[in-house]
Amino acid sequence: MEKKIKEKLKSLVAEMLEAIGEDSTRQGLAKTPDRVAKSWDYFISGYNLSPEDVINDALFEEECDEIVVIKNIDFFSLCEHHLLPFKGITHVGYLPDKKIIGLSKIPRIVDIYARRLQVQERMTNQIAGALQKVLKPKGVAVIVEAEHLCMQMRGVEKKASFMVTSAVRGVFKENQKTREEFLAIVSKGKE
Ligand code: ZN
């Protein structure tokens, strides 16, 4: 994060503390603006990254006609409506077309889109779109299950509710059997 932006954030946080009637210079709060700015630097670090950046050359030629699934990729994001966290897990599946991707890269692609202001539906679509673009597989499927602190902490208080979103591309969209196979792998071990 640029120094100028960080300084601006710090002064805004101090202003916010004053606005709610706090003394932003008291011991417990004196370093809070700095801590918040540093945290935000991390929370929004996805804006500066593209999938191409993290993939580098981790694409490998491979004849493979089975679905590849990576389950339970955890993530933390910020809801753009309330600036409160939502967090959960992502399941990603793809059917390769002569190319596979290094396994560790998929969680990093998830983080590119999680570490920015988001709505869950868009994040789900962006992850699917990014994989479709860089990997050019026969299809991609993404499921995101998340709990939103804006629902849990505020008046609605639906503490146990999860939001589930999905995005499918290619064969996962066109072929019900492929989609069902993916869903079966994802739900295995859950019962
Ligand atoms: Zn929200």
* pLDDT (tens digit per residue) in 28-57: 999 999 999 999 999 999 999 999 988 888
Set 81, 121, 174, 180: catalytic member: 81
DSSP 3-state of 170:
strand
Residue 147 is inside which H or E element, if any?
Answer: strand 139-148
- 79 counts as catalytic: yes
Q: What is the pTM of this model?
A: 0.93
- 91 counts as catalytic: no
Q: State the distance from the centre of ligand 1 to the C-alpha of 85, rounded, in angstroms.
A: 8
Predicted confidence (pLDDT) per residue in 77-110, tens digit: 999 999 999 999 999 999 999 999 998 999 999 9
Buried b (16+ CB within 10 A) or exposed e, 167-190: bbbbbbeeeeebbebbbebbeeee
Residues flanking ion ligand 1, Cβ below 5 Å? 79, 81-82, 150
